[in-house]
Amino acid sequence: NNFDEIGALAIDFNKMTQTLETSQEEIERQEKRRRQFIADVSHEMRTPLTTISGLTEGLVNDIIPKSETDRCIALIDTEARRLTKLVNENLDYEKIRSNKIKLQKTRFNGKEFLELIKEQLDYVASEKGNTITVAIDKDMAIYADYDRFTQVFINIVKNSVQFTENGQITLTGTQDYKESVLTITDTGIGMNTE
C-alpha cells in the first residue's frame, strides 16, 4: 500500500514537473514575442519621427523654400496622425498577438501614395547618395488598409535605401483589369535567396 502511495506521488510529481516545464517554455515564448513586438514597434515609429524631425529642422533653419512650407506642414500633419494611429494600435498588444486587427480597406490613388512615400524617404535616401524615382500611371488605384499598407511599403523601401549606396531606388506601379502591382527595384547589393 505504501508502495502504491509512493508510486502515485512519483507520478503526480512527474506531472507537476512536466507542467512547470511547459509553463516555462510558454513564458519564454511570450517573452520572445514581447521583445519582437517592442523591436517592431520601435522600427515602425522611426519613419514618421524621422520625417517630422527632418521637415521641422528644415523649416526652422530656413532650408526648405517658402513655396514648400504648406506642403511640409501638411506632410508633418500626415505623419503625426499616422504616428498617433500606430501608437493607438500598438498599445493593444493582445489584439496584435492574436491577429485580431481589423483591416480598414479603402481605395486610394497609387501615384499620390508612391509620391508621398518618396517624399517621406527622400531625406534618408539622399544621406546615402541615393535617388528615389516614381514611375506610375496617375490613375492607378490601390485597394488596401492605407495605414498597414503604408507601414509595410515604407519598411521595404527603407530596406532598399539601407542596402543601396550612391544608387537608384525606383517605385513602379502598374494596373490591369484584376490587380494593381507595385514594384520596388534598386541598384543595391540585393537580397539573400534564403
Strand partners, 182: 173
> Within 10 Å of residue 131's Cβ, how many Cβ atoms?
15
Residue 16: pLDDT band with limits 50, 70, 90? confident
Are the C-beta atoms of 55 and 75 separated by less than 8 Å?
yes
What is the β-pairing status of strands 131-136 and 168-175? parallel
Whether residue 141 is found in the same domain as residue 87:
no
Whether residue 127 is found in the same domain as residue 171:
yes
Whether residue 89 is found in the same domain as residue 109:
no
Whether residue 9 is found in the same domain as residue 59:
yes
Are the C-beta atoms of 150 and 108 separated by less than 8 Å?
no
Instruction: Enumerate residues 6+ apart whose C-beta is below 8 A from 101.
Output: 89, 95, 148
Whether residue 114 is found in the same domain as residue 177:
yes
Whether residue 147 is found in the same domain as residue 81:
no
Between the alpha carbon of residue 142 and those of residues 88, 120, 122, 176, 184, the distances in Å are 24, 19, 22, 12, 16
Whether residue 90 is found in the same domain as residue 48:
yes
pLDDT for 166 equals 94
Whether residue 92 is found in the same domain as residue 82:
yes
Which residues constitute the domain of residue 117? 103-194
Whether residue 42 is found in the same domain as residue 68:
yes
Q: Estimate to the nearest angstrom the gap between the alpha carbon of 153 and the chain centroid.
A: 7
Q: What average pLDDT does this structure show over 80-94?
A: 74
> Within 10 Å of residue 148's Cβ, how many Cβ atoms?
15
C-alpha cell at 109: 490613388
Given 102, 125, 142, the domain boundary residue is 102
CATH number of 167's domain: 3.30.565.10
Amino acid at 110: G
Given 44, 72, 102, the domain boundary residue is 102
Q: DSSP class of residue 176?
A: -
Whether residue 151 is found in the same domain as residue 183:
yes
pTM of the model: 0.57
CATH number of 29's domain: 1.10.287.130
Given 79, 102, 125, the domain boundary residue is 102
Are the C-beta atoms of 48 and 84 separated by less than 8 Å?
no
Of 27-41, 86-100, 118-132, 159-173, least confident by mean pLDDT is 86-100
pLDDT for 48 equals 85
Name the residue with cell 506642403: 71
Total count of domains within the chain: 2
Whether residue 17 is found in the same domain as residue 69:
yes
Whether residue 143 is found in the same domain as residue 79:
no
Q: Say whether pLDDT at 1 is over 80.
A: no
What percentage of the chain reaches a pLDDT higher than 70? 90
